[in-house]
């Protein structure tokens, strides 16, 4: 055999071996909402170690992040997510309604209605709190600039809206007074970004606004990144229990052959390792013992629930965020 043919044979064999190894490596796509980038980056590494310790090949986990509503639409339009880890149950419900991407009873597959951690909404203000913003009522005062994303695309923005509504309803008593309050609040919003991370960048990097309505974990990550000499967190008198859910996308994992690893991935969020990583990224863990370990890092808050105060996500989505709902009414009138 000539030298040329021997070399060709060698490189062909090397190429085939590389292709074979690549073909064996499983890839998992986690389609998530804006502020989970850092959390899932660390969690993915931990899960990969756990997965390999069980005798499996190394796993390649890919992440996709944007506003929760936008992400749900992307999956329904063909983004081949193996799992979704979104901000709202209603966004995952929409995946069932829009094409039966997953089972209607997806919530029942994991503990706590498939919400392995919780969060809430707090205020992030500039150091020294120059506008003396302490509670929701301060957000409607003249001259206050409020940064919050668009509820039509962002799950965090919908939690923000509902937390403000809950405050107003309890403070003033009627639906009309609550609507008047949130209308005044959104009159103080100079720009609606598409997602929570974009809104955070508008406030922290672009210097716009006096207060950011933020996921609690996003606010604490901002302090960690920028330092406590730049910003501070204000806990309002009332907020809302945010329960970001997770689910396997049945149609995609069955087509891709990744159901086993996708289910293991989400189950690992409930492990001690997963719960501790969540807490380290300022999510409130469901595991009571680990929550106790990290209790001092979270401010005590009075929290309403989506089910108890609003009748569940379907009712809230219809009333406030569907086309023609309350948000459209108040924002078109600005």
pLDDT digits 0-9 by tens, 40-65: 999 999 999 999 999 999 999 999 99
Quick one: pLDDT at residue 17?
Answer: 39
pLDDT at 300: 87
At residue 6, the pLDDT reads 46
> In the chain, what percentage of residues exceed pLDDT 70?
92
Collect the ranges in the chain with pLDDT lower than 50: 3-23
Q: Are strands 26-33 and 83-85 parallel, antiparallel or unpaired?
A: parallel
Residue 24 pLDDT: 54
> What does the pLDDT read at residue 227?
83
Q: Which residues pair with 27 in a beta bridge?
A: 60
- Alpha-carbon separation of residue 34 from 56, 83, 239, 268 (angstroms): 30, 15, 20, 21
Which tens digit of pLDDT belongs to each residue from 298-308?
988 999 999 99
pLDDT for 274 equals: 98
Residue written as token pair 């890839």: 27
């Amino acid at each position: 055999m000539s030298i040329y043919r021997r070399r060709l044979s060698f490189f062909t064999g090397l190429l085939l071996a590389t292709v074979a190894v690549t073909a064996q490596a499983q890839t998992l796509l986690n389609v998530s909402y804006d502020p989970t980038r850092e959390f899932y980056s660390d969690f993915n590494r931990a899960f990969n170690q756990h997965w390999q310790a069980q005798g499996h090949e190394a796993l390649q986990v890919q992440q996709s992040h944007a506003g929760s509503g936008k992400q749900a639409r992307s999956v329904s339009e063909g983004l081949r997510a193996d799992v979704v880890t979104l901000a709202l149950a209603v966004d995952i419900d929409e995946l069932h309604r829009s094409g039966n991407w997953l089972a209607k009873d997806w919530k029942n597959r994991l503990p706590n209605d498939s919400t392995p951690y919780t969060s809430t909404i707090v205020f992030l203000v500039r150091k020294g709190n120059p506008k003396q913003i302490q509670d929701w009522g301060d957000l409607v005062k003249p001259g206050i600039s409020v940064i919050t994303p668009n509820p039509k695309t962002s799950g965090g923005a919908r939690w923000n809206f509902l937390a403000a509504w809950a405050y107003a309803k309890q403070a003033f008593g009627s639906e009309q007074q609550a609507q008047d309050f949130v209308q005044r609040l959104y009159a103080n919003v100079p720009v609606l970004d598409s997602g929570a991370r974009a809104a955070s960048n508008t406030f922290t990097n672009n210097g716009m606004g006096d207060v950011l309505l933020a996921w609690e974990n996003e606010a604490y990550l901002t302090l960690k990144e920028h330092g406590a000499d730049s910003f501070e967190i204000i806990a309002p008198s009332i907020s809302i229990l945010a329960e970001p859910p997770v689910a396997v996308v049945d149609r995609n994992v069955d087509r891709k052959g990744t159901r086993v690893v996708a289910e293991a991935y989400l189950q690992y969020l409930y492990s001690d390792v997963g719960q501790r990583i969540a807490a380290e990224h300022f999510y409130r863990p469901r595991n009571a013992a680990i929550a106790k370990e990290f209790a001092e890092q979270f401010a005590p808050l009075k929290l309403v629930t989506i089910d108890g105060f609003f009748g569940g996500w379907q009712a809230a989505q219809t009333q406030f965020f569907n086309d023609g709902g309350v948000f459209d009414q108040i924002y078109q009138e600005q």
